[in-house]
Amino acid sequence: VQIVTVSGSLGPASANQAALHLALDHLRTTQPTVVVSPADVSAIPSFRPDQVDVPPEPVATLRAAVGAADGLLLAAPEYAGGVSGVTKNVLDWMVGSASLYRKPIAVLSAGTTGGKYAIEQLVRTLSWHGALVVATLSIEAPATKMSAGRYTDSATIAAVAEWTDELIRAVSSTWETTLAQVTAVVVEYGIDPRRFGEG
Ligand SMILES: Cc1cc2nc3c(=O)[nH]c(=O)nc-3n(C[C@H](O)[C@H](O)[C@H](O)COP(=O)(O)O)c2cc1C
């Protein structure tokens, strides 16, 4: 099983990146056969529709990594009531390649108020890509749950582990099970799960 992690924050002390580190630690100890590859999105240029078919090299590399992955763990901050531009820019580049189509994805947002608008936007945008959002997690006031750049709050550590396990469950399940996970997420946002088709 190959999992790609994507952080929508490029900050050096990112709470979202720290959540992905936690997920990675959890996978290393509980699922040693799972291969986890962090995606480097720092070199992804601003989206250009005229370059969709012949994208810049960092975009081509990212599309290939995402396309080859069995699932994605995506953590992104909320800025001014929406998902970070870094994240949306990356996702816009993925439209032309269909790299996210039917890809199981777990999304989280760590931010002051828990990033619920970022999560809502991610669920909608990813669903429009045809991706399968199988789990969401909101981490409120992350700074109060961290020490020296790592999460120390036991409830948050447990929640990230459960969030990670949901993705592993999805990538190892039947279509029906995965669709049930997706349905449990998307219906809350007014998205009809029938858009994802049948197995
Ligand atoms: C420009 C800017 C806008 C922000 N807007 C929001 C917001 O709308 N909602 C929220 O919960 N937090 C907001 N925050 C706080 C971020 O969620 C918080 O800084 C978070 O830790 C950023 O993620 P990171 O640590 O992974 O970089 C904002 C922060 C910045 C810098």
State the pLDDT at residue 34.
96
State the pLDDT at residue 136.
98
State the pLDDT at residue 3.
98
pTM here? Answer: 0.97
> Is residue 12 very low, low, confident or very high in pLDDT (cuts 50, 70, 90)?
confident
Which residue's CA is the nearest one to ligand 1's atom 23?
A: 77
State the pLDDT at residue 6.
98
123 Cα: distance to centroid of ligand 1 (angstroms): 18
Residue 96 has pLDDT above 90, yes or no: no
Residue ranges with strand state E in 25-156:
35-38, 71-75, 78-79, 82-83, 104-111, 132-140, 146-147, 150-151
* Mean pLDDT of the region 190-198: 93
111 Cα: distance to centroid of ligand 1 (angstroms): 5
State the pLDDT at residue 124.
98
Return d(Cα 157, Cα 28) in angstroms, integer.
14
- Cα–Cα separations (whole angstroms), residue 185 to 109, 123, 158: 15, 8, 19
State the pLDDT at residue 179.
96
- Paired with 153 in beta bridges are none
At which residue do the structure tokens 């992350």 appear?
142
Give yes or no for residue 79 CB within 6 A of ligand 1. Answer: yes
Residue 52 has pLDDT above 90, yes or no: yes
Q: What is the pLDDT of residues 110-149, one digit of tens each?
A: 999 999 999 999 999 999 999 999 999 999 999 999 999 9
Q: Residues 107, 136: contact at Cβ < 8 Å? A: yes
Return d(Cα 78, Cα 187) in angstroms, integer.
22
